[in-house]
Structure 1
Amino acid sequence: MPDLAYYASLPRTRGAAAALLLDDLGRVLLVKPTYKQGWFLPGGVIEAGESPLTACVRECQEELGLTPRLTGLVCVDWAPPRDGVDAVNVFVFGGSITAAEIAAVRLPPEELSDHVMAAPEKVPELAPAHIARRMGPSLRGLAEGRALYLEDGRETPFG
């Protein structure tokens, strides 16, 4: 029988999942939260007992009103504590989105105020630095069909 007290004493890690969705022109879908500055990939916190993939799909359904067509994991990014928020492991899944799906996006107004298809080179102008740093490696992982490991959006020797 497992030592439940021991397991309860171990540190817990926060997790988040996001979708890197590209249209046929190679533009990235970004959303604008109502509760913080900047533009982000659709996604959010992984709930207790939920897998990263399930969280990504659920968040896209909640935030966009659609089920994303994902092709695989493109990066895992360890984000250090910042602005009073604990460290988090972010799982980014890549996929595609059609013009019809973009037109059908339905944002929850209490959470998201807008969405945009942005050229990858424009993301640093729109997204916070830690999100923008993640974009290049994530796009490369998507193009190469593999997942990269990042720390604070920066590639490591394992990336």
Structure 2
Amino acid sequence: MPDLAYYASLPRTRGAAAALLLDDLGRVLLVKPTYKEGWFLPGGVIEEGESPLTACVRECREELGFVPRLDGLVCVDWGSPRGGVDAVNVFVFAGVVTAEQAAAIRLPADELSDHVLVAVEKIPELAPPHIARRMEPSLRGLAERRAVYLEDGREPSFVALGDREG
């Protein structure tokens, strides 16, 4: 029998899942939330008992009105705790948005006010820094067909990590 009190005492980390959706011209789909500044990838919080992939699919269905073809995990970004907010693991899944899907996007008016397909080089002008800095590694992960691991948006030096004490 598992020690439920022990498991309940363990620290928790929040999770989020996002969809890096590209069209046939290589443009990235961004959405504009009504409750915060800037443009973001479609996605959101992983709910209790939900896998990152299931959360990404659910968020796309809720935010865009369709489920895109997802091709795999391209990035995991651990965000350190700051400003009273717990640490968060962000899982970025890459996929495709067709012209027909882009034309049929239905945004939930209480959550999102707009969407745009934008060239990758324009993302830093639109997205908050913590979103923009994730783009190049995520696109590289897509090109290399692997997941890139980040800490606060940067790839750690694994050699330096091996030198840490403790």
Pairwise CA RMSD = 0.9
Residue in structure 2 matched with residue 69 of structure 1 by the alignment: 69
Q: How many residues are aligned here? A: 158
Residue in structure 2 matched with residue 57 of structure 1 by the alignment: 57
Whole-Å separation in 1 of the counterparts to 2:87 and 2:94: 22
Residue in structure 2 matched with residue 41 of structure 1 by the alignment: 41
Residue in structure 1 matched with residue 92 of structure 2 by the alignment: 92
Cα offset for 1:152? Answer: 1.1
Structure 1: where are the runs of 5+ without partners? none
Deviations 1:47-105 (A, max 9, x none): 00000000000000000000111000000000122444221000000011111100000
Cα offset for 1:112? Answer: 0.2
Residue type at the aligned position of 1:72: G
Residue in structure 2 matched with residue 136 of structure 1 by the alignment: 136
Which structure's CA Rg is the greater one? 2
TM-score normalised by structure 2 residue count: 0.93
Structure 2: where are the runs of 5+ without partners? 159-166
Whole-Å separation in 2 of the counterparts to 1:99 and 1:118: 14
Whole-Å separation in 1 of the counterparts to 2:149 and 2:46: 18
Is the counterpart of residue 102 in structure 1 residue 102 in structure 2? Answer: yes
Whole-Å separation in 2 of the counterparts to 1:12 and 1:82: 15
% identity of equivalent residues = 82
